[in-house]
Amino acid sequence: MACFVGAMDDVGMSVDPDFRGGLRAYMEWATRRFVAYPDGPADVPEGLVVPRWGWDGLQSA
């Protein structure tokens, strides 16, 4: 997470706390979700769908 946050700082992304908090929440969620398949694409289930994410967090169908 420190790298992601540092990258936001490096490119001058908004310091708005709501924006940064939403982006950080997404990055934390995505990191947890995708590290579940550390050995490569063959481990990813066929047809796996990436859920939608919005400013309010994970979106239901």
Residues 15-34: tens digit of each pLDDT: 888 888 888 888 888 888 88
Per-residue pLDDT, 29: 87
The stretch 2-19 carries a mean pLDDT of 88
The residue whose two tokens read 């490096």 is: 10
CA distance 55 to 44: 27
User: Looking at the whole model, is its pTM more than 0.85?
Assistant: no
Take residue 29 and report the two structure tokens written for it: 């969620």
* Residue 61, both tokens: 């169908």
In the chain, what is the straight-line distance between the N-terminal and C-terminal CA atoms, in Å? 27
Confidence check: pLDDT of 61 > 80: no
